[in-house]
Structure formats: structure tokens, C-alpha cells
Amino acid sequence: MTPAAWAAIGFEGVLILCGLWLAWRLFARPAARAAKAEVRLAEWRVSPIDFASFLCFGFVGATALSGAAGLIVRHVRMSSDAATIVGSAVMEGGFLVGLAGYYLMARAQMRGETLRLALVPSLRGGLVTFLVAMPLVFAASNAWEFALVEMGLPDEKQELVSILANTGSAALRWLFVAVATILVPAAEELLFRAGLFRYLRTRVPRWAAIGFTSVLFGALHVAWGDHMAGLPSLLPLIVLAVVFCLAYERTGTIGTTIVAHACFNLNTMLLVVTGMGS
């Protein structure tokens, strides 16, 4: 246990205590329970074909940019770890470029249904969402780790987490931080919350929209092969995704969950570099 590890433990404890206090103040105390929560997320009035176009634009952008980058990377010397992180950055960036193209083409038909990204409310709401999620994710993580050990299932970290923990390159770590706190939160929140959840929440039962998108979010972070790398993150990420769905529904601002997601990834990287886990 290094001093950095002890400091990380103390910091995590403060985050969890703040999250418990906020959860009590905002949701559990009598006055909060008596107040009716206002839902600010409006129905997404888009046809199935337009929604399919939304997904196609994102995935085509990711595929096209990844393919173009692959042709360039062949002529550049880099380690396998660097290639993995660069590839992730290009894929997430391509997805965002594709979605930007969709919104530019469809803006004439959107009639005020553009995504809300208000800066100050997003920062405030994102921080609150992150803190409220922390005690729940912490409990789910420990319970899930115990279950994996009892069932004899693999507890291998995600590949990207292992790269961050083992790399000695400062440049690679900074690139990792940029990808994990900017590109990944933006791309994943636009896909899972502003895309899948927003489309499904008024077309199927609300619990089904939250449950399906949250389980899918967690499952796609696991490499379902022989080693099932990332399996320890499955249940914690499902819990995190449920909190993000509820926060997005309550605030109506996708910036809230993008900021919360970025905070969560940044906190995870802090734990990894101090040797406290994945």
C-alpha cells in the first residue's frame, strides 16, 4: 500500500459519503419523497426508418474512419498498446462524426428536437449524477466480485484498463485520458441514452427501455471470449447505466450524463494508476 493508494482510498470514501448524502437529500428524505419528480425529457418523435438512419450514420462513420486510419497506421511504427488506443480514439471519433452528419441532414425535420447540451446545468447535473451513482456502483462491484469468485468465473480486467495499468509511456497515458474522458463518454451517451433509450422509452414499457439499454451497455464492455475480459465490470456498469437513464430522463440534457460518464471514467483511471483496481 503506497501513499498514493491510501490517498485514493480516502478520496473514494469521500466520494461515496457525498453520494450517500446527496441521495438522501434529493430522493430519500420525506420532503424529497413527497415532491413529484419533474421529467424534462420530451418524446423523441422520429420514425423507425429515421432512427435506423441515426444508428447507420454513427456506425458508418466509425467504420469508415477506422478503415482510413488503418491504411495510414500500417505505415507507422507503433506498439500494439498504442495501436489499440489510437484505434479506439478513431472509432469513437468516427462515430461522433457520423452522428454529426445525421443531425446536419435531419435538422430541417427535427422541429426543435435537438439535443440539449447546456454547459452549466450539464456540469452541475453531471457531477451530482456521478456522486449519486458512486455508492450504488461500489456496492454492486463488491457484490459482483464476490459472486464471480464463488462461481469460479474469470475476473480479468478490460484490455484498455490493463494497458493503462501497465504502460510506461506518458504520451500514451495522456492519449488514453483524452479518449476516456472526451470521446468515449460523448459517443456512448449519444448512442445508449440519447439514441436507444430516448427512442425506446415511449414505445415500450419504461422499465424495459431502461433495462434493455443498461444491460446492453454493460454487456458490450465485456469480451465474451474464452477469458471474458471485463466481466467484473458487467454488473457495476449496468447499475451505472440505470442511473444515467434516470438522470437523463429527469434533466432532459444529454450533457448531464456525458459529464457524469467522464467523471466516472476519470475516477476509474485514478484507481488504476494508484493500483487500487479496475
For the stretch 152-164, pLDDT in tens is: 888 877 777 777 8
Do 113 and 44 contact (CB within 8 A), yes or no?
A: yes
Tell me whether residue 24 is in a domain: no
Tell me whether residue 105 is in a domain: yes
- The span from the CA of 125 to the CA of 58, in Å, is 26
pLDDT tens-digit series, residues 187-196:
999 999 999 9
- Residue 31 pLDDT class (50, 70, 90 cuts): confident
The verdict on 190 and 220 lying in the same domain is: yes
Give the pLDDT score at 109.
58
The verdict on 135 and 65 lying in the same domain is: no
Tell me whether residue 199 is in a domain: yes
Do 118 and 253 contact (CB within 8 A), yes or no?
A: yes
pLDDT at 112 over 50: no
Tell me whether residue 4 is in a domain: no
The verdict on 204 and 225 lying in the same domain is: yes
Domain count, the chain: 2
The verdict on 132 and 209 lying in the same domain is: yes
Q: How many CB atoms lie within 10 A of CB 78?
A: 12
Place of cell 430541417: 108
For the chain, give the percent of residues with pLDDT over 70: 95
The verdict on 67 and 180 lying in the same domain is: no
> Does 111 or 255 have the greater pLDDT score?
255
End residue of a domain, out of 114, 132, 159: 114
User: Quick one: cell of 161?
Assistant: 484498463
Domain membership of residue 95 as a residue range: 45-114
Looking at the chain, how many residues does it have?
A: 278
Pinpoint the alpha helices (H) of the chain.
3-23, 30-34, 48-73, 80-110, 119-151, 159-166, 170-178, 184-188, 198-200, 206-219, 234-251, 254-273
Mean pLDDT comparison of 4-13, 102-111, 116-125, highest-scoring range? 4-13
The verdict on 91 and 215 lying in the same domain is: no
Q: Determine the residue type at 166.
A: N
End residue of a domain, out of 114, 130, 165: 114
What is the mean pLDDT of the segment spanning 227-238? Answer: 90
The verdict on 140 and 274 lying in the same domain is: yes
pLDDT at 96 over 70: yes
Give this prediction's pTM: 0.92
Average pLDDT score, the chain = 89
